[in-house]
Structure 1
């Protein structure tokens, strides 16, 4: 099911304002359950988690920063 441009913009805003903070809190909570790993391993874990959150939402974020392709052309010239 393809989302239209407006739906993708709203969903991406929801993901960034609600989903991302929840993901960060959950990641920090899970990491805190274990003993502190060596510094380099900890960096690798945080970088990996920082990239993994965006993969499922790649289609939602694609093209959101561009002009609406469904909007009528602007004939103000």
Structure 2
């Protein structure tokens, strides 16, 4: 992937070293954007479904964990 981006930049006349830095920067930005999107999906979709599941059962310990935002913190790992 990085070679494709570097070749694209060198096709426009950018030297190889600068193209390498630009390609690396673009890939880092892409990875950050994908990570932010995954974080958003996890928090909005999975956490909402988990909240509905927790509120509709008879156990108390999971409700306490939801109120203390344990699951919110755990989803940062994802």
TM-score range, shorter chain: 0.3 to 0.5
User: Normalised by the size of structure 2, how large is the TM-score?
Assistant: 0.46
Considering fraction of residues, name the structure with more helix: 2
Higher RCO, Cα 8 Å, sep 6+ = 1
User: Normalised by the size of structure 1, how large is the TM-score?
Assistant: 0.47
